[in-house]
Every structure is written in structure tokens, then in C-alpha cells.
Structure 1
Amino acid sequence: ADVKVKKLDPRAIIPKYQSEGAAAFDMHALVDEGQVITVNPHSQENLSTGIAMAIPQGYELRVSPRSGHSFKHMISIRNSPGIIDSDYRGEIKVAFVNNSDNIFVINPGDRICQVKLSLAPRAIFEEVEDLEETERGSGGFGSTGK
């Protein structure tokens, strides 16, 4: 699918897939050259990307943490996966959370999240009196075992 990308700031970096088989593309923080963004332990920084996109109708973007950040540094993205609707045209921002006891430093050009373009079919809701029975039934959290 074609996605139009607008740089809202000349320092912004156009996102790209990092390998031929990558399912998601990476986005970069907007950081002044010679500067850093410091994310203190157990805190959140709302990071700018300087990028806006025109997502095709029938699609959505899903914003998630990069796996290396999660596993090595306990970084998460608030409300992950963050969903960006096809009719949103504002700047893509990332609520970057440092869950560790260490300071996390973001340098110019650093990739801060991965984003997946996904199909987003619309449901057609039909009110009914009864629902089809299943083996699970109305069992809630943990009802299917370990």
C-alpha cells in the first residue's frame, strides 16, 4: 500500500524497513544535532518524530516498542500497541516509557519504535438475542489454563 509521508521538520527522518523481511518499519526521534534526550528511570517522555502520514483508508498503523529496547533496556510504549487511524493527519508522537532503574539516552538518528501497517476492516454490528455456544463459553481471564 502506498503511504504518503510529510516531514514536518527538516530534521525528521523518513521511516524505512530495516530488512527485506521486516514486518514493521522503524521511526526516529526528533533530536537536535549535538543534543540528547534523557529518559529518567521509571518515567515517560513524549517524543516527536517530525513525521505525518496519509494512511490509506482501510488500514491502520500499530506503534510498538522495538524488541531490543524492550528486552535489553525495559523500554515500552504507553498504550502499546498504539493505533493510528487512517483519517489522522497530525504528527506521529511516541509515549516512550523507561521502566528500568537506569537512565536511557536517545541520540540524534536513534530509532525509537516500530510501526506496522495493518488492514483494519470495519465491523458490521448486528444485535441478536442469543450467541452461538462455544466450548469456552463465557470463561474470562485465565479460563483456558496455563
Structure 2
Amino acid sequence: MTIRIINRSKNSLPAYETAHAAGMDLRADTAETILLKPMERKLIPTGLHIELPVGFEAQIRPRSGLAFKHGIGIVNSPGTIDADYRGEIKVLLVNLGTEVFEINNGDRIAQMVVAKHETVNWDEVETLNDTTRGEGGFGHTAVK
């Protein structure tokens, strides 16, 4: 599949780093170093605009290395980019670590996964079919 993209940054386009990777790294597009203090969140620009086909979304996810080594995550993870959005892709990073985290132009800050999705129609009813689980929710399997 080919997707139209505008790159207003000086960084390379998102790319798959390995043959079987699901996500492509997104890079920061910033003229100055951004300092992200512990428990602070900031919207980081990428300089990218995309045109997804109808029936697809782009999911913005944290990078596991940043999460593990520095406590850097994404507040609304996964973030969703809809097929009708044409604005710049920005990543809402949060620093859950104990040290100030530095973000420079070109740093890999998140992953983007393009995925097909379904559109549903609701059938409003009074009852639902029974299952073994039933209404069992959080913690219902009771791991001991």
C-alpha cells in the first residue's frame, strides 16, 4: 500500500527498521532542544502530514527503549490518526522517569503503526447472548 505524505522536517521519512517490524519510528522536528522534566508532558512535532485511505488509521505508540530506559511514554497511548485528519502528526510525550529527558531534532520519539479498521452499525437490543465469562471484568480471573 502507498500512502501520500508531506514531510516538512529535515528528517527522513518513517521507515521499518527490520523486515518484520509492524511500526515505523517517528522523529522529533524541533529547532531547539526540548527538555521534558519528570511528570511533565509536551506535544512534540514531527513535521509530517499524511493522507490515509478510508478504512485505515495510524496508531502512535511509545518506543519500548525510551519507556524502559527513561520512563518516556505517550499520554494517550495509542494515539489515533483518522483517515480524514490532514494536520501535522504530533506526539504527546510524558516523562514518568526521575531525570530530565532531552529531545533533539531527529530523535526517534514514537512508533507509528498503520492498521485497517472496521466501521460498525449498532443493533440496539434488550439482552445479549450468555458466555462463560458473563459480566466478569477487572480481575475476574483472580490470578493468585
TM-score range, shorter chain: over 0.9
TM-score (norm 1): 0.92
1:48-87 to 2 correspondence within 5 Å?
Answer: 48-87=45-84
Counterparts of 1:65 and 1:41 in 2: how far apart (Å)? 17
Aligned to 1:121: 118
Question: 3-state SS of the aligned residue for 1:68?
Answer: helix
State the secondary structure of the residue aligned to 1:72.
Answer: helix
**TM-score, normalised relative to structure 2:** 0.93
Corresponding residue of 2:27:
28
Task: Quote the residue 2:104 is aligned against.
Answer: 107
Q: Is the 8 A contact 2:9 2:46 kept in 1?
A: no
User: Which residue identity does 1:80 align to in structure 2?
Assistant: S
8 Å Cα contact 1:30-1:109 kept in structure 2: yes
Instruction: State the SS of the aligned residue for 2:46.
Output: strand
Identity %: 41
Q: Which residue of 2 aligns with 1:42?
A: 39
> Could you tell me how far 1:37 is from its partner in structure 2?
1.4
Contact 1:12 1:51 survives alignment (8 Å)? no
Tell me, yes or no, if the aligned pair for 2:9 and 2:48 is still in contact at 8 Å: no
Task: Give ranges in structure 2 of 5+ residues lacking alignment.
Answer: none
Q: Secondary structure at the match of 2:66?
A: helix
> Displacement, 1:13?
3.5
Q: SS where residue 67 of structure 2 aligns?
A: helix
Q: Aligned AA for 1:3?
A: I
Q: How many residues align?
A: 143
Q: Which runs of 4+ in 1 moved over 4 A?
A: none
Q: Structure 1 stretches of 5 or more lacking a match?
A: none
Cα RMSD for the two superposed structures: 1.2
